[in-house]
């Protein structure tokens, strides 16, 4: 039988004379649910929870309960924040000033809080009377984890204030600067902030947009604009005092953010949480003198859910957490184990337009016939299992998106493409076409510059400053792909490489084509699935985890973080979790200033070796928009490509292509140890001199593999 209680909380009375950190014993709390491992308790004021873990003997609380913070002096306003299950961020849309009020439950003087027992948990209903905004939260136990939900059906907006976002369990993941441990967050391939690393103190808080910031994607940025961090995973974690927690945003990740907050003079606590977004902000175009934010009038109608895993391993590190996420993905069927063949990825670049006074000139550096020569030459040098992709094959050249047939006459005809495919298959290689259906060049036809493009919430078209690149609404991108597929299905292609798709999840506020991020993600997945059904495989630029199970190969997967000051170090969380389940590559090796060091990174993190090559000298591209390919002529690179590729397609690394990584360790600043499930250990030495680990000598700037004894 369900029970319901109603309480009107006057926080000023409750907190009068409260200690720095409010403490309540488990006996004073309400037992909500219990299973073989976990017990869930609700506080008498319904504004916080405790979770007792019988396996580890640890009690976790939504109230900041780090024992190392017991002596901290915290001002009353912050006491209310750290004792609240959640915080509500809302704004007055009528005033148009873009001011966001952050209201923690205990700070609201007219809070109505009720609870209702549900299966394995509790449904909490909060109404902030001062703002006439209400939210619901469902907290329940599910095996060895805690699930926290904010159902959209429980949102109320009765007055002038509208909900912007909800901070869910903002102080469950928290620690003082004297605590032992770290935060893990998905900046790049993964990043760690150690609590005792003083570099984070007073650093600004950061909100990471899960799966990328759509408005700050690279194609829209000026050379002076700062890129946004790449966020590939809806995951974060903490080790505090030898005990570990992990969070996985299961629903609504495409519109969620992850907030990393460093200690400062106001609140000497580090904290990490999921922020569930209901309205995005945009600049008010009516005001030129200062930047005023406006928010969506209509809210994002989605349910949000985050799962908290209580880690069993003592003193878990980032490897432990990566393995936990991998186990989670395997268990729920997002990814499956399959035989991974060692391969080398080669992009073959064809042509790009050079802008002229009256007409563009197409600069061709490779033809389809010459691409055959490249593959044959690499094969003769021992490069096997090539995953090749043709880039810049369209009539108007690379960058004149959306990509579509016919082929550019300067590179060849349909017969030449068939011949290239035959050659690739004879050599044991696969061949795909790289295509961009997400963006549209301003001077490219075939779409409506008004109706088919993406609009932001301030009714402005999302484009770059010069209005040379537009983003296509996801349904139009799907239409362009379907048109491409009608022609492409006539060739024996092995895959389609989708540019940009793995870098962000889009949306569209256009009146005629409103599309939520959740709908866009469904369209992305449908495009990948259709390509896979037609050709056998699908590939994507970027590495967003929302495409796992739909894409077989990712390019442009980062191996470091964005570089914020509060980060202690970047860690290969992504690679540990996904190696052996999906293939991934970084940027092409010939774009690196130090190929030898790049190859060491590939070895350390299990990347597929990757290069982008041309037949002719890339000086031809000097005055095109594709100037990043400064050195790619295959005759100058083929020996180095063969040297790098053979390290992965032959010998001990080839045997690891389908193996899971169990552990990644930094033996020193320049020496790394990676352990695989078959027992093989890889040592990578970045130093200028020989180093030693576990009785093994590792030569300078080199790697060795030590196989397990049979």
DSSP states of 97-122: S--EEEEEGGG-TTEEEEEEEETTEE
The residues pairing with 271 across neighbouring beta strands, listed in sequence order, are: 174, 261
The pLDDT tens digits for 434-470 are: 999 999 999 998 999 999 999 998 888 999 888 999 9
Residue 93 lies in a domain: yes
Q: Report the distance separating Cα 28 and Cα 672, nearest Å.
A: 49
Residue 688 lies in a domain: no
The pLDDT tens digits for 537-573 are: 999 999 999 999 999 999 999 999 999 999 999 999 9
Say what the pLDDT of residue 3 is. 44
CATH of the domain at 153: 2.70.98
DSSP tally for the chain: helices H, then strands E: 10, 42
The pLDDT tens digits for 282-318 are: 876 665 556 677 888 889 999 999 999 999 999 999 9
Q: What is the domain range of residue 45?
A: 4-331
The pLDDT tens digits for 473-516 are: 999 999 999 999 999 999 999 999 999 999 999 999 997 889 99
Say what the pLDDT of residue 286 is. 62
The pLDDT tens digits for 224-282 are: 777 889 999 999 999 999 999 999 999 999 999 999 999 988 888 999 999 999 999 88
Region 401-405: what's the mean pLDDT? Answer: 96
Residue 257 lies in a domain: yes
Say what the pLDDT of residue 682 is. 98
Report the sign of the C-alpha dihedral through residues 164, 165, 171, 177, in that order: negative
Q: Which of 89-103, 124-138, 557-571, 646-660 has the lowest mean pLDDT?
A: 89-103
Alpha-carbon distance values, 77 to 73, 103, 257, 679 (Å)? 12, 10, 24, 53
Neighbours of 355 (CB within 10 A): 11
The pLDDT tens digits for 156-197 are: 999 999 999 999 999 999 999 999 999 999 999 999 999 999
Say yes or no to pLDDT of 589 above 60: yes
Say what the pLDDT of residue 203 is. 95
Q: How many domains does the chain have?
A: 1
Say what the pLDDT of residue 23 is. 39
Say yes or no to pLDDT of 391 above 70: yes
CB 387 within 8 A of CB 608: yes
Say yes or no to pLDDT of 7 above 60: no
Say yes or no to pLDDT of 13 above 50: no
The pLDDT tens digits for 39-77 are: 999 999 999 999 999 999 999 999 987 677 766 777 777
Residue 237 lies in a domain: yes
The pLDDT tens digits for 335-377 are: 999 888 899 999 999 999 998 877 889 999 999 999 999 999 9
Say what the pLDDT of residue 77 is. 72
Per-residue 3-state assignment (H helix, E strand, C coil) for 250-277:
EECHHHEEEEEECCCCCCCEEEEEEEEE
Residue 539 lies in a domain: no
Alpha-carbon distance values, 23 to 13, 52, 57, 107, 116 (Å)? 16, 15, 18, 17, 24
Q: Report the distance separating Cα 600 and Cα 590, nearest Å.
A: 14
In sequence order, the 6+-apart residues with CB closer than 8 A to the CB of 188 are: 229, 230, 232, 558, 559, 560, 561, 562, 570
Q: Kindly report the length of the chain.
A: 710
Say what the pLDDT of residue 290 is. 62
Residue 338: exposed, middle, or buried by beta-carbon count in 10 A (0-12, 13-18, 19+)? exposed
Could you tell me where the DSSP H helices lie in 251-364? 318-331
Residue 109 lies in a domain: yes
Say yes or no to pLDDT of 6 above 50: no
Mean pLDDT of the chain: 92
| Crossing angle for the helix pair 368-380 and 414-426, to the nearest 10 degrees | 10
Say yes or no to pLDDT of 22 above 60: no
Residue 220 lies in a domain: yes
Say what the pLDDT of residue 81 is. 85
Q: Which pLDDT band, with edges at 50, 70 and 90, does 319 fall under?
A: very high
Share of the chain above pLDDT 90, in %: 82
Per-residue 3-state assignment (H helix, E strand, C coil) for 42-69:
ECCCCCCEEEEECCCCEEEECCCCCHHH
Say what the pLDDT of residue 285 is. 61
Say what the pLDDT of residue 176 is. 93
Say yes or no to pLDDT of 10 above 80: no
Say what the pLDDT of residue 566 is. 96
Residue 338 lies in a domain: no
CB burial string 385-419: b at 16+ within 10 A, e below: bbbbbbbbbbbbbbbbbbbbbebbeebbeeebbeb
Say what the pLDDT of residue 8 is. 42
In sequence order, the 6+-apart residues with CB closer than 8 A to the CB of 316 are: 239, 244
Say what the pLDDT of residue 289 is. 56
Say what the pLDDT of residue 602 is. 98
Q: Report the distance separating Cα 480 and Cα 462, nearest Å.
A: 19
State the first-to-last Cα distance of the chain, in angstroms, to the nearest integer. 59
């Amino acid at each position: 039988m369900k029970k319901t209680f109603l309480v009107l909380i006057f926080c000023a009375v409750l907190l009068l004379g409260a200690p720095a950190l409010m403490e309540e014993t488990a006996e004073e709390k309400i037992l909500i649910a219990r299973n073989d491992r976990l017990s869930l308790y609700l506080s008498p004021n319904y504004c916080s929870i405790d979770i007792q873990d019988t396996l580890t003997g640890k009690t976790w609380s939504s109230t900041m309960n780090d024992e190392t913070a017991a002596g901290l002096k915290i001002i009353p306003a912050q006491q209310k924040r750290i004792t609240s299950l959640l915080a509500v961020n809302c704004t007055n849309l009528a005033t148009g000033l873009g001011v966001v009020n952050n209201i923690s439950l205990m700070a609201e003087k007219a809070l109505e809080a009720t609870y209702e027992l549900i299966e394995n948990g509790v449904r909490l209903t909060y109404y902030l009377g001062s703002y006439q905004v209400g939210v619901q939260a469902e907290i329940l136990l599910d095996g060895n984890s805690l699930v926290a939900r904010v159902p959209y059906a429980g949102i109320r907006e009765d007055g002038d204030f509208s909900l912007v976002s909800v901070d869910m369990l903002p102080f469950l993941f928290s620690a003082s600067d004297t605590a032992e441990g770290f935060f893990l967050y998905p900046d790049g391939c993964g990043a760690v902030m150690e609590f005792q690393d003083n570099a984070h103190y007073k650093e600004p808080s950061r909100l990471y947009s899960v799966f990328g910031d759509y408005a700050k994607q690279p194609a829209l940025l000026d050379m002076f604009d700062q890129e946004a961090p790449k966020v590939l995973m809806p995951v974060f974690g903490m080790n505090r005092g030898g005990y570990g927690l992990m969070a996985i945003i299961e629903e609504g990740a495409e519109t969620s953010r992850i907030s990393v907050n460093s200690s400062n003079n106001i609140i000497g606590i580090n904290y990490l949480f999921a922020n569930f977004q209901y309205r995005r902000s945009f600049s008010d175009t009516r005001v030129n003198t200062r930047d005023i934010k406006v928010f969506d009038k209509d809210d994002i109608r989605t349910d949000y859910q985050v799962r908290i895993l209580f880690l069993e391993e003592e003193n878990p590190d980032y490897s432990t957490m990566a393995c936990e996420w991998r186990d989670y993905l395997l268990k729920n069927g997002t990814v499956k184990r399959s035989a991974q063949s060692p391969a080398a990825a080669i992009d073959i670049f064809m042509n790009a337009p050079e802008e002229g006074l009256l007409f563009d000139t197409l600069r061709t550096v490779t033809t389809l016939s010459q691409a055959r020569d490249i593959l044959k030459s690499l094969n003769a040098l021992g490069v096997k299992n090539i995953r090749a992709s043709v880039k810049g094959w369209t009539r108007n050249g690379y960058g004149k998106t959306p990509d579509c047939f016919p082929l550019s006459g300067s590179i060849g005809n349909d017969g030449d493409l068939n011949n290239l495919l035959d050659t690739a298959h004879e050599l044991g290689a696969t061949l795909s076409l790289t295509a961009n259906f997400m963006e549209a060049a301003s001077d490219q036809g075939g779409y409506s510059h008004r109706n088919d493009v993406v609009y932001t919430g301030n009714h402005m078209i999302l484009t770059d400053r010069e209005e040379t690149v537009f983003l296509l609404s996801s349904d139009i991108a799907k239409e362009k792909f379907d048109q491409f597929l009608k022609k492409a299905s006539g060739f024996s292609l092995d895959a389609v490489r989708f540019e940009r798709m793995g870098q962000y999840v889009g949306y569209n506020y256009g009146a005629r084509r409103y599309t939520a991020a959740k709908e866009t993600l469904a369209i992305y997945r449908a495009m990948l699935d259709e390509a896979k059904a037609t050709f056998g495989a699908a590939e994507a630029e970027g590495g967003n985890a929302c495409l796992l199970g739909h894409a077989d190969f990712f390019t442009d997967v980062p191996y470091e973080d964005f570089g914020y000051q509060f980060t202690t170090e970047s860690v290969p969380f992504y690679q540990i979790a996904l190696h052996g389940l999906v293939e991934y590559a970084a940027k092409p090796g010939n774009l690196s200033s130090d190929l030898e060091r790049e190859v060491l990174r590939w070895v350390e993190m299990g990347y597929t070796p990757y290069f982008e090559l041309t037949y002719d000298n890339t000086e031809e591209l000097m005055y095109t928009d594709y100037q990043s390919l400064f050195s790619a002529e295959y005759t100058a690179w083929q020996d180095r490509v063969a040297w790098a590729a053979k390290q992965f397609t032959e010998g001990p690394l080839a045997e690891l292509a389908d193996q899971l990584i169990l552990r990644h360790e930094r033996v020193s600043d320049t020496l790394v140890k990676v352990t695989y499930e078959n027992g093989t250990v890889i040592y990578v030495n970045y130093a200028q001199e020989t180093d030693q680990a576990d009785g093994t000598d590792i030569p300078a700037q080199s790697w060795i593999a030590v196989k397990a004894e049979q």
